[in-house]
Amino acid sequence: MLVPEPLKHPLLTETDQEQLIRAVIEETRPNLRCDGSDGRLVEIGRSRSMVKPTGTSVLCKLSFATLESIQARLIEKLGKFVGLIPVAAAAKARN
C-alpha cells in the first residue's frame, strides 16, 4: 500500500508562502544579473505568481527554461504546485 509523503510545509500561511517565494526569486537573481537579465515579482497568489522579465531576459529565447527552473525550485520548497507566469507589463486596475 502506498502512503503519501507528508507536505514539506503543511500549514503554510499566505505570509509564509509569500516569504518563501520571494526568497527563491532572490536566490536566483545574482545568476540572472550576470548576463544582464533580471525579473520583478509582480503578484503572488495561492497557486500562481507573476513575474516581469527585465533586461536581456525580455528577448531571450531561453527565458522560458529559466522560469521553469525557478518554478521547479518553488515547487520543491513549497511542497505543492505553484505556477510562475511571465507578464509583459503589470495591468493597472480600472476604477
Q: What is the pLDDT of residue 69?
A: 92
Q: What is the pLDDT of residue 15?
A: 86
β-partners of residue 83 are 48
Q: What is the pLDDT of residue 14?
A: 82
- What domains does the chain contain, in order, with CATH numbers? 14-86 (3.30.300.130)
Q: How far is residue 8 from each of residues 25, 29, 41, 47, 51, measured CA to CA in Å?
A: 19, 24, 23, 16, 24
For β-strands 83-86 and 37-44, DSSP reports them as unpaired
pLDDT surpassing 70 at residue 34: yes
Q: What is the pLDDT of residue 93?
A: 47
pLDDT surpassing 70 at residue 90: no
Residue 30 class from Cβ within 10 Å (0-12 exposed, 13-18 middle, 19+ buried)? Answer: exposed
pLDDT band at 60 (very low <50, low <70, confident <90, very high): confident
Q: Cell numbers of 75, please?
A: 515547487
Q: What is the pLDDT of residue 94?
A: 46
